[in-house]
Structure 1
Amino acid sequence: MRAIISEYVKTAEPVGSQVLVEKYKLDVSSATVRNEMLELDELGYLEQPHTSAGRIPTEAGYRYFLDNQFISKKPSFAQEKKLSQTIREGQGDRQSAKALAKILAELSQEFILTAFTDNDFYYTGLTNLFIQPEFSNQHIVYNIAGVIDQLDRHLAKLYHQVNDEIVILVGTNNPIDPALSLITVKTSGNLLIAILGPLRMPYRTNVGLLEYSRELMKNLS
């Protein structure tokens, strides 16, 4: 499941058994992988969008991966340097939160939300969200834009539910929009940081970025 999600995150294309065997150097045959993918399909973790295509993870598949196979990815040295410099140069004020949001949007290529209270927030990276292939449909873009316009309403509830433990809310568990996934945490100074993106977001990378940001903020407090 981990290899399937990893490949789908990179390509946004249905994943076939032969691709998995060749790219991930699996020590089994393509037929064996195909049978295992069929079992995952029957369990509801994968689906086949076209009869001749490979398979893609379902919402249940992402949840299974996060619950059973997930390990966050440590940021690269360059990413750590950018985050560290941004946080250490800040004073814990709103301008610092904006600067952190912009760096996280740049590094994650996702939509970033920061908030000091449930009605004092800032967001950036909306373009990152809309350039994802999942949102090429104009109707979906309109729906997401409407959700963003109502962020204050969604944030009022979310802000008081989040603490210093990273929370991942996938699809229908996401109070902002079921077409998206949300990774969020509250750091020192009660600053909420959230990454919003498609279900096909790179969870390992994004969680790693938030973990590192949280620890930097904690060390400054």
Structure 2
Amino acid sequence: MLDLVVVLFIVILGLVYLKKGLVLAIYGFLSIIFSYIIAILFYPVIANYIKLTTIDENIKEAIHSFAINLELAQDIHTQAEIIREKLTLLPESFLQTITLTAQENNLNIIDYLTILLSDLIINIISILILFIATKFILFIIKQVLTLFINLPVIKTLDRMGGLLLGLVQSLFWIWMFCLIIPFFVNDSSFPTFTALFEQSRITKWFYDNNLILDYISNF
């Protein structure tokens, strides 16, 4: 069911951009890239600001409490196995980073997990804040651009070139959505979503091959 939603989203967004036209499709696509670049370049500034507030401590306390509730053993190898067993909804590459780094440096996985996930969550929040703010500014600029693309000849050509860019943009939004999936699957308030996600194939592929998450995880 979740895979069907993902496929329909890709198809519908492609058709929407076909109707929207080439110019606005290109502008929308480039605005996403520009917003993403701005978010990636400047999110450390927002993240550092958040870390100066109580939000950082609250996130760490919540993660630490969750990790303790996993009843992790003191032995680092046993901890690693429990992490893999209890946190299977995290991407495999991310689990490998946690377990291997902790083992190689002889770290307590609870403490390492708390710091790593806390930084990751704050980075994601910072990126989303900058991304949304930049998109809003570009939306205002788009309203002015629309006045120039309603000329007859331009409008005819404009409507024919939006499909491909619409499809590419849909993939980007799916990856953005995958960033917040852990907040749902680890929350008992969303059992239906968790079940749908566990049964999915296409959605899991996007989730396990999230280029945005791979980039963020390197910081």
Q: Same fold (TM over 0.5)?
A: no
Question: Structure 1 or 2: larger helix share?
Answer: 2
Question: Structure 1 or 2: larger strand share?
Answer: 1
Give the TM interval when normalised to the shorter protein.
Answer: under 0.3
Higher radius of gyration, 1 or 2: 2
TM-score, structure 1 length as denominator? Answer: 0.27
